[in-house]
Amino acid sequence: MKSIPEIVLQEKMKSDCYRFLSACFCQPQMNLFQEEHLLTHLTITLREISPGTAVFSAAMEEMIRKYSDEDLTVEYTRLFLGPFEIKAPPYGSLYLDGEKKVMGDSTMEVIRFYEEAGLSRNKDCMDLPDHIAVELEFMSYLTYREAEALEKSDFTTALEMAKKQERFLDQFLGQWIREFCEKIKESSDNGFYLALADCASSFVGSHNPGHLRETLGEEDFRAS
């Protein structure tokens, strides 16, 4: 059985991975990848918590060296923005609602989920609430909140954050990320985005927020 400090470290690393992956699905910024060593940090962290997924982030590191800013921006635009057919729409509602439109019923549910977690819409954010980068960032937030609560021995809040992660994966992100990543792989020959698709799908698919109950037991949390 892992100790609380070990679980805290593990959850903080998961939070970092969600945040790093979120950045990869934003408009490409080569300085973020190279000067801030985002992909190196992602690979180092994944080797600790999800070694199978680290293979894909290592491939991202290798592939990013082959492309210019322009190469990545052109492919990002073609895959996720259009202007005509969007090859891999990065919005959950297009996969969950059965209709080819954004801001559907599931988007409204996502907004309510964010609000229940105490978050409000950032007016400066141009992405829709169910954009892949936003949902990954939200999972980073929940996972960090869980780790922070554990650090303070606030087991009730830690368990609440773990449950929110489970619900969000079960109802939203986990329901559509695999299909989204498959569309990337079907539509692109860009090595970076192919590896990113595998990395994101593998990492999200392997995340089991229920480990807190499994490791310590829900009753243990309530008794602590």
CATH number, residue 62: 1.10.3480.10
As for how many domains the chain has, the answer is 1
Distance in Å from the first CA to the final CA of the chain: 16
Q: Which domain holds residue 45?
A: 4-223
Distance CA 178, CA 207 (A): 13
Residues whose CB is less than 8 angstroms from the CB of residue 47 and which lie 6 or more positions away in sequence, other chains included: 54
The DSSP bridge partners found for residue 126 are none
Please report, in tens digits, the pLDDT of each residue of the chain (224 residues total): 788 899 999 999 999 999 999 999 999 988 778 778 899 999 999 999 999 999 999 999 999 999 999 999 999 999 999 888 899 999 999 999 987 778 889 999 999 999 999 887 665 556 799 999 999 999 999 999 999 999 999 999 999 999 999 999 999 999 999 999 999 999 999 999 999 999 999 999 998 877 776 665 654 444 34
Question: Of 73, 61, 68, 70, which Cα lies nearest the Cα of 33?
Answer: 61
User: Phi first, then psi: what are they for 191, rounded to 5°?
Assistant: -60, -35
Identify whether the C-beta of residue 77 lies closer than 8 Å to the C-beta of residue 85: no
